[in-house]
Amino acid sequence: MQRITLLFLIGLTLLFCSCRSDFETVASNGELGFSTDTVYLDTIFTNLSSSTYALKVYNHSKNDINIPVIKFAKGLNSKYRMSVDGSQGNQGKLFENVTLLAKDSLYIFIETTVKSDNSTPTEFLYTDQIEFDSGANLQKVELVTLVQDAILLYPNRNADGTTETLPIGNEKIYGFYLDKNDPIHGNELLFTNKKPYVIYGYAAVPEGETVTFEPGARVYFHANSGFIVSKNSSIHINGTKSTTDKLENEVIFSGNRQQPDFNYVPGQWGTVWLQKGSTNSTIQNLTLKNATVGLLIEDNDGKATPIKNTQIYNCTHFGIQAKNAMIEAENIVINYAGEASLACTYGGNYKFSHSTFNNNWSSPEQLAVYISNYLDGATPETKDLTAATFNNCIIYGSYSNEMLLGKKSGAAFVYQFNNCLIKSNKTNNSDYQFDTDPVHYNGIVLNKDPKFFNPNINNFNIDNTSPAFAKGNSAYLIPLDILGITRTLPPDLGAYQSKPFPK
């Protein structure tokens, strides 16, 4: 009997509390608080979903309130979607009778997918509002999204329903061959500056073909995407000097996440891979960022790949990873790489002039420059490094040693550093006798801070107080710096001609 009475009292208490809560909920009075009055959903590409953005709604009153309606001003036709405290409501557009407890808050998560049509410009604003309640109690939060019309390139579906793939050795990866006669895009081997391109999967250049990038071309890669330049094919990146900070004439490769939070996030996409046997490639005025490996170049066909006026930033492993390759480069800047900004491995032939190799990655294992004549597990394990020459360069970073020579017997290892600023703690090793080994080192500035303007945001300008100022050798002069500024004599080290820092 006592047990029955106890259960009855518990049930009565629960019933009373639930009724009391309903009874005490009052209508909202137009005094909700918001974490922001405008939600900016940063640049998205047409037909692609944005990231999810959060809006926090506050009830500062002492009463539990009922919000009669939360909806978009454009109603069910809005291109935005939202969830309110995990609820999807009516198609993610309309929510009725939302309870918000006293001194509490709720989250609204917002995203959008916007389709542009041929009548819209290449960039336009899509806007809407989230409306809370109505009439005298109506409150609004603005929504603003910049939408860019873009050309989407991705693997097609085969006749059997499978998705197009690319053969890589014995494996297959998600990717496709660029088609110069594509029925939708026309010549996919020509990237213009009329619209940005968004690539899903690996876009491969067919054997014997050349992919060309015009000045101002913009290419954005989804996760696990990139370019493959296959045997007997070429890549021509034809950027030119820009006159503003917008890099209007540079060719830019980046991830397709356009929010400011992703500006410096490495590993958002794969790599640009110049495979064994690729030929006659040229790269100039390219800005590449946020990849896993920026440029992966291996086993050229005996012709050096020229790389000029190129910046590579924020790569998970390497800015440039070369394997038994041939590269002749000038005015190169690389920073932030999980392993090495520049890795010239497994032999090859390399020449770098007036380049800045820095590494501010937050790991003591990082390097600015790594050079080797071997590859563990390969057959053969060693290959000749016939030349690794660095002229008027800066090799620096945030840790005590930023250069490493990986030398094994059984293959040539030829290297020379002329008029370079180098950060190294290996002066007791016979391979690093910077002052007494003229065969390998001449005019070295050792362990001096080059006083970059701001390496944390990849600004590697120097001024006349830098130890790299006027320390170059005119015999290795590249007349114009990476910005097209005429170098003075004797030249400064690195990719930038010195100038006063802005105040």
Handedness of CA 75, 76, 77, 80 (dihedral sign): positive
Residue pair 324/348 in contact by the 8 Å Cβ criterion: yes
Could you give the CA distance from residue 217 to residue 235 in angstroms, rounded to a whole number? 14
In the prediction, which pLDDT does 116 show?
Answer: 60
Given a cut of 80, whether residue 119 has pLDDT beyond it is: no
Which segment of 44-58, 81-95, 164-178, 472-486 scores lowest on mean pLDDT? Answer: 44-58
Is 2 strand, coil or helix? helix
Predicted confidence (pLDDT) per residue in 13-67, tens digit: 444 444 444 447 788 888 999 998 888 876 677 777 778 889 999 999 999 999 9
Could you give the CA distance from residue 45 to residue 219 in angstroms, rounded to a whole number? 12
Work out the burial of residue 185: count CB atoms within 10 Å of its CB; fewer than 13 is exposed, 13-18 middle, 19 or more buried.
middle
Could you give the CA distance from residue 49 to residue 59 in angstroms, rounded to a whole number? 31
Residue pair 296/274 in contact by the 8 Å Cβ criterion: yes
Could you give the CA distance from residue 287 to residue 213 in angstroms, rounded to a whole number? 13
- The dotted CATH code for 26-148 is 2.60.40.10
Q: Which residues are 237's β-sheet partners?
A: 213, 283
Which segment of 41-45, 184-188, 263-267 scores lowest on mean pLDDT? Answer: 41-45
Given a cut of 60, whether residue 266 has pLDDT beyond it is: yes
Closest-CA residue to 319 (of 342, 346, 286, 344): 342
Predicted confidence (pLDDT) per residue in 359-390, tens digit: 999 887 899 999 999 999 999 999 999 999 99
Given a cut of 90, whether residue 99 has pLDDT beyond it is: yes
Which one is predicted more confidently, 145 or 417?
417
φ, ψ of residue 480 to 5 degrees: the values are -110, 145
Residue pair 481/354 in contact by the 8 Å Cβ criterion: yes
In the prediction, which pLDDT does 11 show?
Answer: 52
